[in-house]
Amino acid sequence: MSRVRADEEEYWHSSKFRAFTFDDEDDELSQLKESKRAVNSLRDIVDDDDDDLERVSWSGEPVGSISWSIKETASGSTSSLDGRDSSLQKGSSSYAALPKQASSYSLSSLFKGRNKLSSFQSLSDALTDTGVKNYAPELRRPKAEYKDYSSDWSPKDTVRRMQRGKVCSLERFRSLQDKLVLLDEAVAGHDGNVITAVLIFLKRTLRREILFRELEVRQVALCHLIHFLRETGEQKFLLDLLRFLDRTEEVALSQYREHLNIQDVEKRREFLKGCIGLPFSAEDASHIQDHYTLLERQIIIEANDRHLEMAGQSELFRKYPRKASILNMPLVTTLFYSCFYHYTEAEGMFSSPTNLKKTFKIPDKQFVLTALAARAKLRAWGDVDALLTTKNWLGYTKKKAPIGFHRVVEILQRNSAPVQVLQEYVRLVDDVETRLNLATKYKCHDVVIETYRDLKDRIQLTAYKGKVERGSAEEEKINSILSN
């Protein structure tokens, strides 16, 4: 939006790039309208009761779908189900009747080909289909399975059995050598389920140092163990492992993550304080420091303001009661809050906007944007003016907006600023076309008239006369310009 509209327009027309425009907009819309109209007119002809046609209840669940029937049976109305059985059958048979695809090899046609009885391979068919084993390789019994009762499987066979979901005792792998062969076999199978199972076994039966040392040269297994420790919340074990591996940044982040589980703010603050010294990257370290400082501030501000609000002395808090506590809010939200409730405070106060700006090195742009939104919300137009006014060393004042005046206008307009306030800033928009657009949109007549006057555009000015009230001061103004 900061890009000037006119430039953009020109850009799109002159450059080779195409945006997703609707050049044929009217045409498009009318086409939609047309089909809508056609559809509507048809309602008169056709009986409108198309519910049974779609076989879909209002919520859209096809009758008989699983989620639909969970609701049904959970409500205990089994009897009503029987009544609908016939429609269920109808539903399920037509449900799968996909039409021919563009590709003649569509899977649906392949499914149909396989099953001559019906168009769809249903669950019941599958269950009674004993010949299926011939099709699926994983159902074929490998040789290993014939010696089911032998306890003498090789590591390879053990892993294979586990891959098929069979429970195996791993206890007989006693030596370190055996255990590592088992682990390597599991890794070679790529099945995370099995790898994790073996790791659980190794974790239980090996000393930490040995486990860590062996995992260091087995990256895949190592990743699985880290993932496992994270899932099960074995934070201490995880940190030990990461430290052993010298993955210090990961240690730091992993420890920092823990703060999310701490609900009590005091404890969370303490915890974050402890995170400051951790070996983050330089960039991250400063963010973590800021996170701690912010929460520390918020705790102080919160205690103060809660007290103020309860006491009922402050008019501001009475008039605009707080919607929620400021604890754990992002920095920009905190700045907004402080601009709203603590705007006039001296820089020495923790809750003052200028103090926040300094402490967190908030860029000018961000600061003005936030302060503007907060003051506009309070309709404190004087503050808005002051915020955008700069004085040079000779004492001359000048209006300046690091975010551009068109943005200022937008923000003020959103907070329903009166036209007098609005037009002062519309007038300051540099680009003529943007200024005219904004002025016309928000009915800042004076600005429109003056701009056309400066452009010496009699035609537009005359045309604009129709948009102002008859006999108003604006009309008079236009007349006097035109007659000059």
| Residues of this chain, 102-131, that bind other proteins according to CB under 8 A | 102-111, 114-115, 121-127, 129
For other proteins, the closer of residues 6 and 223 by Cβ is 223
For other proteins, the closer of residues 299 and 481 by Cβ is 299
Choosing from 159, 182, 185, 224, the residue that interacts with other proteins (CB under 8 A) is 224
For other proteins, the closer of residues 35 and 389 by Cβ is 35
We find the least distance from the C-beta atom of residue 76 to other proteins, in angstroms, to be: 8
- Please compute, for residue 430, the number of CA atoms within 13 A of its CA located in the half-sphere on the CB side: 12
Cα 239 to its chain centre, rounded Å, is 30
Choosing from 26, 48, 171, 315, the residue that interacts with other proteins (CB under 8 A) is 48
Residue 174 token pair: 């006693």
| Residues of this chain, 185-214, that bind other proteins according to CB under 8 A | 189-194, 196-197, 200
Fill in the per-residue mask, 426 to 465: x = in contact with other proteins (CB under 8 A), - = not in contact: ----------------------------------------
Distance, in Å, from the CA atom of 459 to the CA atom of 443, rounded to the nearest integer, reads: 19
Residue 384 touches other proteins, criterion: CB under 8 A? no
Choosing from 42, 386, 463, 473, the residue that interacts with other proteins (CB under 8 A) is 42
Secondary structure element (H or E) that encloses residue 385, with its range: helix 381-387
Residue 38 touches other proteins, criterion: CB under 8 A? yes
Residue 360 token pair: 């967190």
Choosing from 6, 9, 10, 43, the residue that interacts with other proteins (CB under 8 A) is 43
For other proteins, the closer of residues 1 and 311 by Cβ is 1
For other proteins, the closer of residues 162 and 449 by Cβ is 162
Residue 253, C-beta contacts closer than 8 angstroms, at least 6 positions apart:
280, 284
Residue 362 touches other proteins, criterion: CB under 8 A? yes
Residue 132 touches other proteins, criterion: CB under 8 A? yes
Residue 257 touches other proteins, criterion: CB under 8 A? yes
Residue 28 touches other proteins, criterion: CB under 8 A? yes
Residue 264 token pair: 């009590």
Choosing from 226, 387, 426, 439, the residue that interacts with other proteins (CB under 8 A) is 226
User: What is the DSSP code (8-state) at residue 403?
Assistant: T
Distance, in Å, from the CA atom of 424 to the CA atom of 409, rounded to the nearest integer, reads: 9
Residue type, 426: V
Distance, in Å, from the CA atom of 250 to the CA atom of 256, rounded to the nearest integer, reads: 10
Residue 198 CB neighbours (<10 A):
24
Distance, in Å, from the CA atom of 319 to the CA atom of 62, rounded to the nearest integer, reads: 51
Long-range CB contact pairs, 207-214, < 8 A, 24+: 208/240, 209/244, 210/176, 212/240, 212/241, 212/244, 212/245, 214/180, 214/183
Residue 137 touches other proteins, criterion: CB under 8 A? yes
| C-alpha distance from residue 239 to each of 212, 381, 392 (Å) | 12, 54, 56
Nearest to 88 by CA among 117, 72, 65, 67: 65
| Residues of this chain, 316-345, that bind other proteins according to CB under 8 A | 323-325, 328-332
We find the least distance from the C-beta atom of residue 458 to other proteins, in angstroms, to be: 32
| Residues of this chain, 282-311, that bind other proteins according to CB under 8 A | 283-284, 287-288, 290-291, 294
| Residues of this chain, 69-88, that bind other proteins according to CB under 8 A | 69-70, 73-74, 78, 81, 85, 88
